[in-house]
Amino acid sequence: MQFRDLSAQYKVLKKEIDESINSVIDSSQYILGKPVIELEKKLADYVGVKHCISCANGTDALILVLMAWGIGKGDAVFAPDFTFFATINCAMGRGATPVLVDIDERTFNMCPESLEKAIKRVIKEGKLVPKVIITVDLFGQCADYNRIEEIADKYGLLILEDAAQGFGGNIGGKKACSFGDVAITSFFPAKPLGCYGDGGAIFTDNDDLAESLVSIRSQGRSPKDKYDNLDIGLNSRLDTIQAAILIPKFKAFEDYELEAVNKIAMQYNKLLEEYVEIPYVPEGYLSSWAQYTIKLENEVVRNGLQKYLKGKGIPTMIYYPRGMHQQTAVKKYGFDRGDFSVTEKIVKTCLSLPMHPYLDDESITIIGKSVIDYLGK
């Protein structure tokens, strides 16, 4: 059994993917070929924004946006404490200061109340200039944008939606990657929409920003003269072959995969809701289920369950074993233990079960009954 079975997907899409790869090889347009342009248009139309700018990976997508905004030393960038390191690494790499925010215990996403407290604290201290809120659509579910956007407007902050795990999710039909001022996603293979290597994309309605991002993803090159560089940039382009792979995968994602993972999540819920704390999805939200993450009573039970499932050949993952304030690279910022009580609880009690669109009914039943069997002992 696979945690996220990419080989099962390939078997279904083999003909289309192989033909797409071969077409790129036949064309020899390996950098910024036609499939890149085609993919960008398809993704922008799906999300409902004017521009999609692809790039080399999700981390670069975050960095490129902060570069375009001129974020740097003396700026405060607010981010959830419970996330992957890339969310704050991009700010640290720019010389800005990450300001961590505790999470909502039910959704695992940034807590709006904790966010506003953090903003007020930074303003009162007067050492940093509040500039950006990086939200995270964790495990496939959008953050609470209704409240976070109100807070951003109140204090004049920009919102960068980190939808690396959230592509396909929505709130009332408004899709992930369309919230805030700019959004990004990742095409890492295990993501809801993944390629066969690294890849990422940025989404915006801002024409000037889109033009700037196209330039700085290619060394800051002028759109009129490739040997005239307008600014400092990166070499961060999505390979044509990866774009070609993503086109048939995106069609499958849109046609049936997103529906399939939601069906699987409901099956898990029915099996497990009386035994563990199942994932919470607010009314009006749709998750793309990058992960299906349950909560156990305590760390001993969680670790015991993981070991038990491993013995039965069932893979699981702990996302994440520590909060950002517990990372070695972040300790220099002086975050005190206890400021992130929810995160510190979640990292000890959460466990992610296998989740992908090709998970069959028999496997779901085996996983669910194995969880119940262990807890019943």
Q: Which two tokens stand for residue 37?
A: 């342009």
Q: Among the three residues 248, 273, 296, which one is the final residue of a domain in this structure?
A: 248
Domain that holds residue 323: 256-376
As for how many domains the chain has, the answer is 2
Q: Which residue has the tokens 């670069």?
A: 60
Cα–Cα distances (Å) from 118 to 13, 37, 71, in that order, read: 46, 40, 19
Instruction: Please indicate, yes or no, if residue 1 is contained in any of the structural domains.
Output: no
Residues 6 or more apart in contact with residue 285 via CB below 8 angstroms: 141, 142, 169, 170, 171
Name the band, by pLDDT with cuts 50, 70 and 90, for residue 334: confident
Is the bond leading into 320 cis (omega within 30 degrees of zero)? yes
Q: Is the pLDDT of residue 96 over 70?
A: yes
Distance CA 373, CA 354 (A): 17
Residues 300 and 206 in one domain: no
Name the band, by pLDDT with cuts 50, 70 and 90, for residue 274: very high
pLDDT at 377: 79
Name the band, by pLDDT with cuts 50, 70 and 90, for residue 338: low
Residues 268 and 365 in one domain: yes
Element (H, E) at 201: strand 200-204
- pLDDT, averaged across the chain: 97
pLDDT per position as a tens digit, 135-175: 999 999 999 999 999 999 999 999 999 999 999 999 999 99
pLDDT per position as a tens digit, 23-82: 999 999 999 999 999 999 999 999 999 999 999 999 999 999 999 999 999 999 999 999
Cα–Cα distances (Å) from 23 to 38, 78, 245, 280, in that order, read: 14, 43, 11, 43
Name the band, by pLDDT with cuts 50, 70 and 90, for residue 336: confident
Residues 238 and 118 in one domain: yes
Per-residue pLDDT, averaged over 177-189, amounts to: 98
Domain at 40, CATH number: 3.40.640.10
pTM assigned to the model: 0.96
Instruction: Please indicate, yes or no, if residue 75 is contained in any of the structural domains.
Output: yes
**Side-by-side strand order, sheet with 285-286:** 174-175, 170-171, 285-286
